[in-house]
Chains A and B, each alone.
Chain A
Amino acid sequence: MATDTHIAEHEVQDTGSAWSGGQEPFKASYGKLMMWYFLVSDAFTFAGFLIAYGSLRFSMPTWPVPDFVFSTFPGGFHHMPLIFVTVMTFILILSSVTMVRAVQEGHRENKRGVVKWMALTIVGGLMFLGCQAWEWTTLIAGEHTTILTNPFGTHIEAGTYMEGDGHDIKEGDTFDAGAPYLIHQVDGEFKQLQYKTEAGEVKQQAFGPKAFGALFFFITGFHGFHVFSGVLFLLIIMINVASGLYVKRKNGYEMVEKIGLYWHFVDLVWVFVFLVFYLL
């Protein structure tokens, strides 16, 4: 026990009062405790963004309909609402599961097991990032959503289209209030279709709430950045594990446990991003 290689666990001497120091009232090391508190602060950052999203959404008469906006699937598929983001969610859940396994193998001081499960976790993280890259590409390059432009609108009254867009909308199609639409580009210019309201008034499709693009790209981007930095840290710690660094510490691979906490937190945030952006 009393060797200089023993770093993380302190020799605790009971000197009576907890205030005289030398005790761990939380039975957790400094590093692990501080990881928890970092995650609390990070949770507040994300909560701030999500609350801003909610407030702005509540302040608008309409909002882009999620199962209309997120309905594409790789391979040129359309009209598959929420399927792709569900796949993304599964990938993140699976990578969380492999992370738990890595921590468990760490407790058993099983180096090979830790490396194996961490490698799988990294693969999961990279797959998630790949999916997000695809999703962003579709929105930006395919549907021309940007931080300041939101072509996803919602009708506030019923009417009949006076022209088609060559995609889903044909001349003479009727729609009800609440029907979502995407304004397509023709030769690099947005073409807002004209329609006739039931009262006979001629109007054209309006753009959706401007705040949508900035909120979506910033919040999912901030989450994606967490995934990306998580992958980097997982990689560094996996290399350390493989090099045998943590064997010397004899603390059940606590470093793996700490990065595990961070990784699960990334999954936790996704639960709420998934809820507010895609489900509600």
Chain B
Amino acid sequence: MGLSYEESKKLVFKGMILLGVVTIVEVLIALMGNGHLIDGFTMPKWLMYPMMIGLSLYKAYFIVYEFMHMKYEVRALALSVLMPTLLLVWGVIAFFQEGSSWGARRAQILEKDAKPASEISIPAENTNETKDTLIIE
């Protein structure tokens, strides 16, 4: 494993402290950002979310590389496990885009749902051009 027994024992202890502290920081960001800790103090979501996502990804990296010993495996093994998960990046982009699009068109969908099917006609200008502006909203 490249490390002596004593060294790896210390590393485990360090890992425990690290994961614990990162978790506490995440929870503090969530609580403080939502105004639970200091009266009248909140943080905008665009500031909170990247911090919490970043810290979680760091925890994931630490668990895989140290606790699961990926660091000490042959590089090809690590790549064969980690590369496929990159596909998920596209999964997240594609599906979240789709989800936001449903959200943006909610009013339109409800309006259509309220009418009987025979009365629904989609205006020509509503099919292509306005679609893009709706997604951006």
Contacts and interface: CB of A to CB of B under 8 A. Distances in A.
Contacts of B31: 67, 81-82
A226 to B, nearest CB: 15
A43 B85 contact: yes
Contact of A279 (B19, B26, B77): B26
B130 to A, nearest CB: 19
Contacts of B81: 36-37, 39-40
A97 interface: yes
Interface in B64-93: 64, 67-68, 73-74, 76-77, 80-81, 84-85, 88, 91-92
A90 B20 contact: yes
A26 B80 CA distance: 10
19 contacts: A26-B80, A27-B74, A36-B81, A37-B81, A48-B91, A51-B92, A51-B95, A59-B106, A65-B34, A81-B31, A93-B23, A100-B12, A100-B15, A104-B12, A107-B1, A108-B5, A268-B68, A271-B63, A279-B52
A55 B95 contact: yes
Contacts of B91: 47-48, 51
B36 interface: yes
Contacts of B100: 58-59
Interface string B1-25: 1000100110011011001100110
Contact of A268 (B30, B36, B63, B99): B63
Contacts, number: 139
Q: Please report whether the interface of chain B is mostly helix, strand, loop or mixed according to DSSP.
A: helix
B36 to A, nearest CB: 6
B5 A59 contact: no
Contact of B60 (A27, A40, A260, A271): A271
Contact of B23 (A58, A89, A97): A89
A253 to B, nearest CB: 13
Interface of B: 1, 5, 8-9, 12-13, 15-16, 19-20, 23-24, 26-27, 29-31, 34, 36, 49, 52-53, 56, 59-60, 63-64, 67-68, 73-74, 76-77, 80-81, 84-85, 88, 91-92, 95-96, 98-103, 106
A159 B49 CA distance: 29
A264 B67 contact: yes
Contacts of B64: 264, 268
B59 A25 contact: no
Contacts of A61: 103, 106
Nearest to B8: A104
